[in-house]
Each structure stands twice: as structure tokens, then as C-alpha cells.
Amino acid sequence: MRTGLDRLIREGASAAGLPRGARVGLIAHPASVDARARHAADLLAAHPDFRLVRLFGPEHGIRGEAQDMEAVAESVDRATGAPVVSLYGVGEDSLKPTPAHLADLDVVVHDLQDVGSRYYTFVYTLAYAMEAAAEAGLPVVVLDRPNPIGGLAVEGPVLEPVFRSFVGRYPIPVRHGLTTGELAVLFRDVFGVRCDLRVVPMEGWRRAAHFEETGLPWVAPSPNMPTSETARVYPGGCLVEGTNLSEARGTTRPFELTGAPWLDGAHLARTLTEENLPGVLFRAASFRPEFQKHAKHLCEGVQVHVADRVTFRPFATYLALLREARRQDPLAFDWRRDAYEFVRDRLAIDLLLGKTGLREMVEAGTSTAEMEASWAEDLARFAPARERVLLYRA
């Protein structure tokens, strides 16, 4: 298969309806690579059809060195010599390119590998860029890439407007089953982010395919997304960020491992196993996070092993995990209370869940089946909009 980047480099400016010599501002990160693991910035800088003028770095930076919610500074890209504008600074106003950033460009090119979860901020960097480009009269070219957890399954509540933030700007489900190019069309055609949008679609991608079937190299798009297996659990695993449990940052298995110094991992694994959730195994595990929550302290908890990636429901699985961890010690368990992605007046877990009353269901010990039923109507209402923007049918 070929990604949008592979097609653009092979076919040149005509693949995106651009003139030869187009002045490019490229939004990229470490995973912006072609099938031979060559970075988009290097490829565009060397291509006769393009003039690479500026790079834009999303959260974590153009080369992926910054941790989550860590402000990224302006810089110069050592490989290409291009200036790098940060689209993740100290405040919300840093998330959107300014008119000065776009004044000497002919096009904004977006090539960020997404992971298929509503919380992953790269798709909102795209939305902000679409807004800024529309104001500047510039086209936006999205080089499409696979949804690494497949393009069929849809899961979780649709975001309610009251929970709008940089981990969820639009009413989409947690696991949306769309590619970045399809999300861009959704933003334009359904949510009104008007701009001259041009998607360079992939060739040979099947909606049922998970990343391992694409033949493409996996490059971590962010520091704690080391493998495609991490992406598979992330629609649920990210919920741990909204608690005082460790999501095992600074280990080799972030988001797959979850724990805290006060948890009984063996008991947690037993209670979750007894629920017979589909496609998943739970193993009692101990780990020591290197940074952030419970840094350097021994944590007990579980490792989530995906046994069947087709039937596995990550969002529901981790809701059950949080429920049982809280049930084990309601006094030690707590929701994250500090600022989260520039928001200070709401709990992080509520921003991530995106649905009124769902946190309270976890606190009340509600069954997994009842929690899943609470968002069934949300998904039914979202389905026609999703169907409208699909670029790949098979």
C-alpha cells in the first residue's frame, strides 16, 4: 500500500493540484515517514516540485522529543535548515498558526500519523490549521495515513459540547474508525471548518486492516506510543490519565500497564478476568514508572493483553478497569485534579469521557453492559455523518 506521502513524492505537485515550486509549510512529527522510513521534511526539501519554507511542530514537537503537555519552543530543524514553528506552546493561542506564519506560503501540508482515538491531539492541530489556512486563503493538503487500529470499529460516547477541549473539539466517538483524511472531510463538511481541503488518499488500504498488515514501518508518533499495540489499547488506556493511577509512562509498555502503589494487582486481575470481557486477558503486573505519577515507586496493577483485536473493546475494557481499581480502595483512588490540556475548571476524566453522567456510573459501580448501553444512541446518531465522509469502502 502507499500512503498519501508516498503518492505525493512519487507523483509530485499534481497529486495535490499544486503548481511546481509551491512554497510549503509542513506539519509533521517523527512518524511522518514514507514506506522506506524517510521523513517527509527531508523528502519535500529535496523534491524539485516543492520549496520547503517552514515546519510546524504539534504536541511533542517536530522530532517527538517533548513529553505530554510539555510546551515546545520555536527552533530550526537541523536536517533541513527550515525554521520550526511550535503549535503547542504555553497557552491555547499557541495551537493555531498566525497570519505571519502563513504569509509566505502557497500551501499547508499536514502529515501526522493518528492513532484512531478522539483524544489524540494531532487531529485538532489539523483543524486549527484548516481554520488558519481558510483565513489566509491557502489550501490545506492532508497526506492520508492508515488508522492503525482499523477503520471499521466505532466505540464510546460522542463528545458533548460542554466537554470541548484540545482532547476533543468536535462531537465524535472515542474510537471513530476514520483516517485523518476522512476526519478532515468531516471537519469541513459536517462541522463547518471551511477551507480549500485536498486529501491525497492512500492506495491499497483496507478498512479492516490493522497497522501490522500495512507493511509500513511503525514510528512512535509521540514518546509514549512506542508500538502499534499501544495504539490498540489507547482508546481506553488514555482514560488512566484522568486518575491518580499510573499509565506507566517511563516504562516499555505505557497504557498497557496500569497501577498504583496501593493496588493489589492479583486481585484486580482476577476481578477483571471474571467479567469475561471480549478479546482481552489481564495479567497481574508490577512496574516502576520513571516519571510523572508515582515516579520511582513500585506500582502493582495489571497489564492489558489484547487476545483478539477484532472483538476487543478498549474503551469499555478500561472503564471496567477504573471501576474495579476504585472499588478496591475508594479512599486511595482519585480523579486527576490539576489542569489538563489548558483546562482548569473541569476534571480531566470528564474531558476524556465526554459524556455527562459516565464518571458517576463508574463511581457507582455500574456494570460494563449498562455503561456501554449509555452511548448506543450517540453512535446511531453519528453513523450517517461518518458514512458521508468515508474515502475507502473496502
Cell (9 digits) for 18? 499544486
CB atoms within 10 A of CB 389: 18
DSSP 16: G
Task: Please report the pLDDT score of residue 163 as a whole number.
Answer: 98
The residue extents of the domains of the chain are: 4-219, 228-375
Q: How far is CA 373 from CA 150, 155, 172, 238, in A?
A: 23, 11, 17, 21
Predicted pLDDT of residue 248: 97
Please report the pLDDT score of residue 26 as a whole number: 98
pLDDT tens per residue, range 256-282: 999 999 999 999 999 999 999 999 999
| pLDDT for position 185 | 98
Q: For residue 102, report the phi and psi dihedrals to the nearest 5 degrees.
A: -105, -10
Q: Reduce the DSSP state of residue 35 to 3 states and report it.
A: coil
Report the distance separating Cα 389 and Cα 182, nearest Å: 6
State yes or no: pLDDT of 295 exceeds 90.
yes
- The mean pLDDT of the chain is 96
pLDDT tens digits, residue range 14-62?
Answer: 999 999 999 999 999 999 999 999 999 999 999 999 999 999 999 988 8
Which homologous superfamily does the CATH classification assign to the domain defined by 4-219?
Answer: Uncharacterised protein PF07075, DUF1343 (3.40.50.12170)
pLDDT of 65 over the 90 cut: no
Average pLDDT estimate for 170-199: 98
- What is the pLDDT, as a whole number, of residue 69? 66
- pLDDT reported for residue 245: 98
Residue 254: the pLDDT is: 97
How would residue 75 be classed by pLDDT, with cut points 50, 70 and 90? confident
Segments in the chain forming alpha helices (H): 4-11, 40-46, 99-102, 122-136, 180-189, 228-237, 265-273, 314-328, 348-353, 358-363, 368-373, 376-389
Strands 299-306 and 257-260: what pairing? antiparallel
Per-residue pLDDT band at 346 (split at 50, 70, 90): very high
pLDDT of amino acid 70: 76
Instruction: Classify 228-375 by CATH class.
Output: alpha beta
For the record, the C-alpha cell of 203 comes out as 492506495
User: pLDDT (tens digit, 9 = 90+) per residue, 131-165?
Assistant: 999 999 999 999 999 999 999 999 999 999 999 99
Query: Position of cell 517523527?
Result: 30
Structure confidence at residue 64 as a pLDDT band (50, 70, 90): low
Largest CA distance in the chain: 63
The residue count for the chain: 394
pLDDT band, very low/low/confident/very high, at 66 (cuts 50, 70, 90): low
Global pTM reads 0.96
Q: How far is CA 23 from the centre of its chain?
A: 28
Quote the pLDDT of residue 166: 96
| Burial class, 96, CB count within 10 angstroms (exposed 0-12 / middle 13-18 / buried 19+) | middle
Query: What per-residue confidence (pLDDT) applies to 61?
Result: 81
Categorize the per-residue pLDDT at 90 as very low, low, confident or very high, splitting at 50, 70 and 90.
confident
Residue 340's DSSP bridge partners are: 343
User: Does pLDDT of 384 surpass 80?
Assistant: yes
DSSP letter assigned to residue 243: B
Within a 13 Å sphere around the CA of 333, how many CA atoms are in the beta-carbon half?
A: 20
